[in-house]
């Protein structure tokens, strides 16, 4: 075994969740994968995963990411077992646990455990109350904002590090200043944004009487699928990040971390971006379901992309099977991307979003291409100045932004 490092998103509760967000792409997996109503990873599967995951990651520090669905549905005792097994198989290495949650199930008991075991928590929140409650509701249709804020207050009370994860959707993407200011106010200095890019199945087009035409010479969509009304447009994506960037560079460099900007700076410095969709190749970040089934990626949990089960084949061998999937990211780029002046930064973006056609009729163009291009060209001079400043031994916050 060589010294490759892998990242596995573990979904110990499968697609089970206690709320029902309108845009969640994972809830349908319960029916697709024939999951039981209450899916909880067994101790047998958990031990197999932890022991093998520590075996294939040879670094001194190993990250475990617990995601969903809602991973807290597994219960507190489950995560107590997680910690015990990590100590058993960790051989003294430093282990970091990251729990991605909607925050509505947090209690003092949970927070005492998370604080004691130094968990990092990711909280899903889409903005101020009216924005958040538009799409993030419980199963009765009521907004979850107040419960999420209660959870954040508990995290603060117990001094648990957390970051915010915000889905960019049709409701919040144009309210740039409002969303950014709110997240700064409630957060601890680190924010992430996930673009809502989902297509509707063709059957819905027929029911709604909707069609999509592809005008000559424009960015067209392959197939007969149209975008979900909750999705954002490529221009909105670019405008949002440019708007946040302008506020960030003037007031918050060195104070507020935005994952997208951190990745951009890293790429300008010639370092790994830390975001799989900006990597030249992917395939090193699988998704493990509650029953031990491993899939190519969190966004490709479909039967076609099932690599196998960790009881039928070691995790190392399963991830090696994913090489072709990862390499295809670099090999299947259209000529437009290969010739693009900022193509070395986005590297074609996430494979999941490559369903568009270029003006020349080539397939494989990323839906968000226009937005990526707008952002990377708009910020190029600033990040180049920051790059030079850092190489000269200065801190990022010392970069002179007056000429940008």
Does residue 340 form part of some domain?
no
Residues 37 and 130 both lie in one domain: yes
Number of structural domains (the chain) is: 2
Classified as helix, coil or strand, 54 is helix
Residues 329 and 207 both lie in one domain: no
> Taking residues 339-357, what's their average pLDDT?
93
Residues 236 and 266 both lie in one domain: yes
Res 396: pLDDT = 65
pLDDT band at 219; cut points 50, 70, 90: very low
Classified as helix, coil or strand, 316 is helix
Residues 69 and 14 both lie in one domain: yes
Res 394: pLDDT = 66
Determine the Cα–Cα distance for residues 371 and 373; give it in Å rounded to an integer: 5
Residue 177, C-beta contacts closer than 8 angstroms, at least 6 positions apart:
243, 247
pLDDT above 90: residue 212:
no
CATH number where 68 lies: 3.20.20.70
Classified as helix, coil or strand, 85 is helix
Concatenate the DSSP letters of all residues of 166-212 into one string.
EEE-TTTTT-HHHHHHHHHHHSSSEEEEEE---EEPHHHHHHHT---
33 vs 378 pLDDT, higher one: 378
Q: Where are the beta strands (DSSP E) in 40-112?
A: 61-66, 94-101
Does residue 126 form part of some domain?
yes
Determine the Cα–Cα distance for residues 99 and 73; give it in Å rounded to an integer: 12
Determine the Cα–Cα distance for residues 39 and 27; give it in Å rounded to an integer: 12
Residues 238 and 217 both lie in one domain: no
Q: Which helix (H) or strand (E) holds 60?
A: none
Does residue 345 form part of some domain?
no
Does residue 331 form part of some domain?
yes
Does residue 362 form part of some domain?
no
- What is the percent of the chain where pLDDT is above 70? 88
Residues 76 and 159 both lie in one domain: yes
Res 388: pLDDT = 87
- 60-70 residues labelled b (16+ CB within 10 A) or e (exposed): eebbbbbbbbb
pLDDT above 80: residue 134:
yes
Determine the Cα–Cα distance for residues 340 and 348; give it in Å rounded to an integer: 10
Does residue 348 form part of some domain?
no
Residues 158 and 146 both lie in one domain: yes
Contact (Cβ atoms closer than 8 angstroms) between residue 62 and residue 94: yes
Q: Which domain holds residue 377?
A: 7-197+230-335+369-398
Biggest alpha carbon–alpha carbon distance for the chain: 61
Res 209: pLDDT = 43
Determine the Cα–Cα distance for residues 17 and 160; give it in Å rounded to an integer: 23
Does residue 342 form part of some domain?
no
152 vs 28 pLDDT, higher one: 152
Q: Give the residue from 368, 375, 274, 283 showing the smallest Cα distance to 324.
A: 283
Of 149-158, 257-266, 392-401, minimum mean pLDDT range: 392-401
Res 238: pLDDT = 98
> Taking residues 56-65, what's their average pLDDT?
91
Marked catalytic residue, from 28, 126, 298, 360: 298
- When computed from its CA atoms, the radius of gyration of the chain, rounded to whole angstroms, is 21
pTM of the predicted structure, to 2 decimals: 0.89
Does residue 1 form part of some domain?
no
Contact (Cβ atoms closer than 8 angstroms) between residue 329 and residue 281: yes
Domain boundary among the residues 179, 213, 229 is at 229
Concatenate the DSSP letters of all residues of 109-171 into one string.
HHHHHHHHTT-EEEEE--SSHHHHHHH-BBTTS-B-HHHHHHHHHHHHHTT--EEEEEEE-TT
Residues 212 and 141 both lie in one domain: no
Contact (Cβ atoms closer than 8 angstroms) between residue 205 and residue 199: no
Residues 116 and 168 both lie in one domain: yes
Contact (Cβ atoms closer than 8 angstroms) between residue 155 and residue 121: yes
Determine the Cα–Cα distance for residues 197 and 291; give it in Å rounded to an integer: 28
> Taking residues 206-233, what's their average pLDDT?
53
> Taking residues 297-308, what's their average pLDDT?
91
End-to-end CA distance of the chain: 47
Beta bridge partners of 226: 200
Residues 266 and 155 both lie in one domain: yes
Contact (Cβ atoms closer than 8 angstroms) between residue 376 and residue 342: yes
Q: Is 298 a catalytic residue?
A: yes
Res 4: pLDDT = 57
In the 8-state DSSP scheme, what is residue 300? G
Q: Which residue has the tokens 């100045």?
A: 385
Q: For residue range 165-201, list pLDDT tens digits in order.
A: 999 999 999 999 999 999 999 988 999 999 999 887 6
Residues 305 and 191 both lie in one domain: yes
Residues 192 and 222 both lie in one domain: no
Residue 127 has, within 13 A of its CA and on its CB side, a CA count of 23
Determine the Cα–Cα distance for residues 346 and 280; give it in Å rounded to an integer: 8
Determine the Cα–Cα distance for residues 173 and 397; give it in Å rounded to an integer: 27
pLDDT above 50: residue 357:
yes
């Amino acid at each position: 075994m060589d010294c490759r490092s892998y990242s596995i998103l573990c979904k110990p509760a499968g697609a089970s969740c206690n709320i029902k967000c309108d845009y969640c792409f994972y809830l349908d997996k319960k029916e697709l994968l024939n999951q039981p109503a209450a899916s909880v990873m067994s101790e047998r599967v958990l031990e197999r995963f932890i022991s093998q995951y520590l075996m294939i990651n040879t670094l001194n520090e190993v990250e475990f990411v617990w995601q969903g669905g809602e991973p807290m549905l597994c219960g507190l005792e489950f995560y107590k077992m997680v910690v015990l097994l990590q100590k058993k198989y960790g051989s003294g290495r430093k282990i970091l646990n990251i729990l991605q949650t909607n925050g509505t199930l947090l209690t003092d008991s949970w927070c005492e455990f998370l604080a004691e075991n130094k968990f990092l928590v990711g909280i899903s929140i889409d903005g101020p109350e009216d924005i958040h409650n538009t799409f993030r509701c419980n199963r009765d249709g009521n907004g979850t904002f107040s419960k999420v804020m209660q959870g954040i207050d508990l995290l603060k009370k117990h001094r648990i590090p957390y970051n915010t994860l915000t889905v960019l959707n049709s409701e919040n993407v144009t309210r740039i200043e409002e969303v950014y200011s709110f997240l700064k106010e409630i957060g601890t200095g680190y924010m992430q944004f996930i673009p809502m890019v989902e297509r509707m199945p063709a059957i819905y087009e027929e029911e709604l009487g909707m069609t999509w035409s592809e005008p000559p010479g424009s960015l067209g969509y392959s197939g007969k699928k149209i975008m979900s009304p909750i999705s954002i447009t490529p221009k909105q994506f670019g405008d949002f990040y440019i708007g946040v960037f302008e506020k960030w560079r003037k007031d918050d460099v060195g104070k507020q971390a935005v994952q997208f900007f951190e990745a951009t700076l890293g790429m300008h410095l010639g370092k790994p971006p830390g975001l799989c969709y900006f990597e030249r190749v992917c395939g090193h970040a699988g998704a493990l379901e509650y029953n031990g089934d491993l899939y190519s990626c969190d966004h490709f949990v479909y039967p076609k992309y099932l690599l196998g089960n960790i009881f039928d084949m070691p995790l190392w061998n399963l991830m090696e099977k994913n090489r072709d999937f990862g390499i295809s990211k670099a090999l299947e780029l259209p000529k437009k991307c290969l010739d693009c002046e900022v193509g070395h930064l986005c590297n074609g973006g996430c494979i999941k979003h490559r369903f568009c056609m270029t003006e020349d009729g080539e397939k494989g163009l990323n839906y968000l291409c226009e937005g990526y291009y707008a952002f990377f060209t708009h910020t190029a001079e600033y990040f180049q100045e920051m790059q030079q400043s850092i190489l000269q031994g200065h801190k990022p916050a010392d970069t002179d932004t007056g000429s940008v």
